Amino acid sequence: MKNITLPRHDEVELKGCHDIRHWTACKGCGGLGDQMAMLSYQGAPFHGTCLVKLLDRRTLLKLPASELGKLTLGDTGTPLMRALLNRKATQGTCGHSG
Ligand SMILES: [Zn+2]
């Protein structure tokens, strides 16, 4: 008699799921975050809010547009978001600033 091993339900779920998030620890607060949504600063992952708290506005605005694009209004607050939008308007979104 053949011994058929059926895959366990949870294994199937994991292998078939393309939405597995890559959790990583934020260098700012130590909490976990979704790597895709986190900003990279000096090679380390940060929550948007944590990086906003960590950096002054001038430094923050120098980050590549690819990173700044991950910031939400909730991360930045209105004044900073306005500054970010102004930056995008003047420099474009390619991130190749000087
Ligand atoms: Zn954090």
Give per-residue pLDDT as tens, 70-94: 999 999 999 999 999 888 777 655 5
What is the distance in A from the centroid of ligand 1 to the CA of 28? Answer: 5
What is the distance in A from the centroid of ligand 1 to the CA of 48? Answer: 7
Alpha helices in 37-77 (DSSP H): 48-54, 57-61, 65-68, 73-76
Joined together, the tokens standing for residue 63 give 């980050």
B/e letters for 22-50, b = 16+ CB within 10 Å, e = fewer, are eeeebbbeeeebeeeebbbbeeebbbbbb
Q: Determine contact, residues 93/67, Cβ cutoff 8 Å.
A: no
What is the distance in A from the centroid of ligand 1 to the CA of 23? Answer: 12
- pTM for the model stands at 0.69
* Mean predicted confidence (pLDDT) in 37-54: 96
What is the distance in A from the centroid of ligand 1 to the CA of 60? Answer: 15
Nearest Cα neighbor of 64 from 34, 87, 81 is 87
